[in-house]
């Protein structure tokens, strides 16, 4: 190992071999493609494949699994071409997600729907549409634990190399954990137990590798230059925007604005839509549960315009009082803005009801999805909200990137909030005209690579399946709530029946900062503090809590580690109790 090599976590498999993986997949795809379509151009660009010709800027390795991706082992409609064992051996099996690949598993290049797909002369005939070719059928049920990788010509349906069908349909948190290299870290000599997911989530190899791939093969500014790398970067960036669109079920990628995260997205709406539509005497309604990011921008707007900020109360379990909420709405209400999930308590807020209420009173409604998107499927059209926003880093993506969804008519009535390059259609010294949304709201060079990384994170989550994630986390939350009950003097704050991912608590006589520090000594990362939600904690008479927050890679063992540590800390009279 040279000094510049990344450290091997716990002596495990090397990580960060993105270029090897993608090159191997690209080589494999080309090899198969040449066999399937003799004389055609290569399928994908493969920098280190001497046999791959210049196949044009459009032929790029794209990291998404299209909607029609096979559900397992190449078992999908379309032409299925078994991958030769020699080519399988080319895949770097020590690579994170492929570590457990069973070589007996059949691999297929799925040519489903590709217009020029052709079965090669002499190759074994493809099997029926819903099953792999009999010759390649494994003797026993294969252990499929790897990811699916997609190779696209740009237009779906894409060509999919399905290396085993991944985990779709089955959910194994221990396997999910293996996708996250940082979770093999040791902290103070103990295995890391990451329970600070509401603050930020960790990143899977698929995201880390997608970022490396961007910088190694696609890095350029977007939109401007007419050269190959600019085209690749633009494709990747706009591809990511389309992934956000699909993830939220927005009608068009024109409804998706990239922002630094939830905070910036809320500020964008406050400073653009708010300044145009809110004036003296108007009202903005939020709930008591809000994160500071969904309080301060509205407070600032109210102070600047003479509007009034009104706050709907919560009950003793931490649920928004819908009856009281409605009473606050009236003819002066211009905007309602609420979190879908509380970061401090975990309460799931019935935002569809609040959207309907706000609309009944003619207000626009914004939903802060920062704590929701990694736990539950979101459909902005079904919710009918006017704005929805989230942060990439809370859904296994990079920091510094997030998205704002806006209804077309809402975005169109909004002026730009920042000026500069990229957002204009024409500039003279006398007058500037602006691009239509979303470009109008993205002045300057955006966070291109991280947007692409966010796209990879959304693919990852989609592949795990939000229903699987929700089910697992719900079980874990029930388990955690039960197990924490053993700790003397522990009180859970936020006991709504409908909660996602958060166990917030205090222990009689112990300071939350001391607890946080003591747990860290045991390798357990939780948040101790006000969680940027001081009003809701004060509603419960508190300045801070300890918060353990969950993700799909958490297990009952993680909860056990937390509970055992708390039992030791309370039982041993720690902190001089
Ligand atoms: C509910 C909620 N809203 C907004 C934010 C702000 O997110 P960011 O700091 O990523 O902009 C957070 C962050 O914790 C949050 O939990």
**C-alpha to C-alpha distance for 243 and 230, rounded to whole angstroms:** 20
**C-alpha to C-alpha distance for 489 and 333, rounded to whole angstroms:** 43
| Residue 12 DSSP label | -
Nearest to 525 by CA among 205, 204, 187: 187
pLDDT score at 81: 42
Which atom of ligand 1 sits closest to the CA of residue 265? 11
Say if CB 436 and CB 254 are below 8 A apart: yes
Look at residue 138 and tell me whether its pLDDT is greater than 80.
Answer: no
Say if CB 359 and CB 337 are below 8 A apart: no
Respond yes or no: is residue 556 known to be catalytic.
no
Within 10 A of 352 (CB to CB), how many other CB atoms are there?
15
Pocket test of ligand 1: the residue of 389, 532, 550 to mutate, having most ligand atoms within 8 Å of its CB, is 532
Return mean pLDDT, the chain: 78
pLDDT score at 37: 52
Which atom of ligand 1 sits closest to the CA of residue 264? 11
Question: If you measure from the C-alpha of residue 534 to the centroid of ligand 1, how many angstroms do you get, rounded to a whole number?
Answer: 13
**C-alpha to C-alpha distance for 369 and 366, rounded to whole angstroms:** 9
Question: If you measure from the C-alpha of residue 550 to the centroid of ligand 1, how many angstroms do you get, rounded to a whole number?
Answer: 16
Burial 12-30 (b: 16+ CB within 10 A, else e): ebbbbbbebbbbbbbbbbb
Q: Is 320 helix (H, G, I), strand (E, B) or coil?
A: strand
* pLDDT one-digit tens code per residue, 157-214: 233 344 333 333 468 899 999 999 999 999 999 999 999 999 999 999 999 999 999 9
Q: Is 128 exposed, middle or buried (0-12, 13-18, 19+ CB in 10 A)?
A: exposed
User: Whose C-alpha lies nearest to ligand 1, atom 16?
Assistant: 343
* pLDDT one-digit tens code per residue, 341-375: 999 999 999 999 999 999 999 999 999 999 999 99
* pLDDT one-digit tens code per residue, 301-349: 999 999 999 999 999 999 999 999 999 999 999 999 999 999 999 999 9
pLDDT score at 224: 67
pLDDT score at 302: 98
Question: If you measure from the C-alpha of residue 343 to the centroid of ligand 1, how many angstroms do you get, rounded to a whole number?
Answer: 8
Question: If you measure from the C-alpha of residue 243 to the centroid of ligand 1, how many angstroms do you get, rounded to a whole number?
Answer: 21
Name residue, tokens 């379309």. 78
* pLDDT one-digit tens code per residue, 441-463: 999 999 999 999 999 999 999 99
Nearest to 366 by CA among 344, 396, 345, 386: 386
Within 10 A of 481 (CB to CB), how many other CB atoms are there?
15
Look at residue 247 and tell me whether its pLDDT is greater than 70.
Answer: yes
**C-alpha to C-alpha distance for 493 and 215, rounded to whole angstroms:** 44
Say if CB 184 and CB 10 are below 8 A apart: yes
Say if CB 455 and CB 240 are below 8 A apart: yes
Nearest to 101 by CA among 48, 162, 159, 151: 162
Residues of the chain with pLDDT > 90, as a percent, come to 67
122: left (phi over 0), alpha (psi -120 to 50) or beta: left
pLDDT score at 170: 65
**C-alpha to C-alpha distance for 60 and 51, rounded to whole angstroms:** 16
Beta bridge mates, 424: 434
Pocket test of ligand 1: the residue of 269, 289, 290, 291 to mutate, having most ligand atoms within 8 Å of its CB, is 291
- Residues 331, 332, 335: CA angle, nearest 5 degrees: 105
Pocket of ligand 1 (CB under 6 A): 261-263, 291, 293-294, 339, 343, 368, 370-371, 391, 532
Within 10 A of 314 (CB to CB), how many other CB atoms are there?
25
pLDDT score at 171: 81
* pLDDT one-digit tens code per residue, 82-102: 444 444 444 433 223 333 333
* pLDDT one-digit tens code per residue, 279-288: 999 999 999 9
By mean pLDDT, which of 113-127, 292-306, 320-334 is the weakest?
A: 113-127
Which atom of ligand 1 sits closest to the CA of residue 260? 11
Q: Is 90 helix (H, G, I), strand (E, B) or coil?
A: helix
């Amino acid at each position: 190992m040279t000094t510049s090599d990344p450290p091997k976590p716990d002596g495990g498999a090397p990580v960060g071999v993105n270029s090897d993986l993608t090159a191997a997949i690209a080589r494999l795809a080309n090899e198969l493609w040449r066999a399937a379509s003799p004389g055609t151009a290569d399928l994908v660009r493969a920098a280190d494949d001497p046999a791959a010709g210049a196949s044009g800027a459009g032929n790029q390795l794209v990291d998404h699994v299209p909607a029609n991706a096979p559900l397992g082992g190449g078992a999908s409609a379309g032409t299925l071409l078994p991958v030769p064992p020699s080519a399988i051996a080319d895949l770097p099996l020590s690579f994170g997600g492929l570590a457990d690949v069973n070589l007996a598993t059949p691999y297929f290049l799925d040519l489903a729907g590709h217009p020029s797909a052709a079965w090669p002369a002499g190759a074994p005939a493809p099997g029926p549409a819903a099953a792999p070719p009999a010759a390649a059928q494994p003797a026993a049920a294969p252990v499929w634990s790897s990811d699916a990788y997609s190779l696209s010509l740009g237009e779906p349906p894409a060509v999919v190399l399905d290396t085993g069908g991944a985990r779709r349909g089955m959910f194994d948190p221990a396997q999910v954990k293996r996708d996250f290299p940082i979770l093999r870290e040791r902290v103070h000599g103990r295995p890391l137990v990451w329970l600070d997911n509401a603050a930020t989530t960790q990143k899977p190899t698929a995201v880390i590798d997608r970022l490396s791939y961007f910088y190694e093969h696609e890095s350029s500014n977007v939109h401007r230059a007419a050269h190959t790398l600019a085209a690749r970067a633009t494709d990747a960036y706009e591809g990511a925007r389309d992934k956000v669109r699909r993830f939220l079920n927005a009608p068009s990628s024109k409804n998706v604005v990239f922002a630094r995260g939830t905070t910036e997205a809320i500020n964008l709406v406050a400073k653009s839509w708010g300044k145009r539509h809110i004036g003296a005497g108007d009202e903005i309604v939020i709930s008591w549960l809000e994160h500071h990011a969904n309080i301060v921008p509205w407070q600032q707007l109210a102070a600047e315009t003479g509007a009034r900020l009104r706050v709907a109360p919560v009950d003793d379990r931490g649920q928004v009082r819908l009856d009281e909420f409605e009473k606050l709405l009236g003819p002066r209400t211009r905007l309602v803005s609420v979190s879908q999930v509380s970061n401090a308590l975990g309460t799931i807020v019935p935002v569809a009801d609040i959207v309907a209420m706000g609309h009944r009173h003619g207000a626009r409604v914004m939903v802060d999805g920062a704590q929701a998107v990694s736990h539950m499927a979101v459909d902005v059209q079904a919710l009918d909200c006017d704005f929805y926003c989230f942060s990439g880093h809370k859904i296994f993506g990079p920091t510094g990137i997030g998205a704002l969804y806006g209804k077309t008519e809402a975005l169109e009535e909004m002026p730009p909030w920042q000026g500069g390059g990229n957002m204009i259609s024409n500039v003279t010294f006398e007058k500037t005209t602006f691009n239509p949304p979303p470009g109008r709201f993205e002045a300057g060079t955006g966070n291109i690579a991280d947007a692409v990384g966010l796209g990879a994170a959304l693919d990852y989550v989609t592949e795990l399946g939000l229903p699987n994630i929700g089910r697992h986390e719900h079980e874990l939350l029930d388990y955690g709530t039960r197990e924490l009950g053993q700790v003397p003097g522990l009180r859970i704050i936020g006991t709504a029946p409908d909660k996602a991912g958060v166990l917030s608590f205090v222990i009689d006589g112990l300071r939350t900062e001391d607890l946080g520090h003591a747990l860290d000594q045991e390798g357990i990362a939780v948040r101790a503090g006000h969680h940027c939600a001081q009003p809701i904690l004060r509603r419960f008479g508190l300045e801070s809590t300890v918060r353990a927050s969950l993700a799909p890679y958490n297990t009952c063992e993680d909860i056990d580690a937390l509970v055992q540590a708390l039992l030791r800390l309370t039982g041993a009279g720690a902190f001089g109790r």
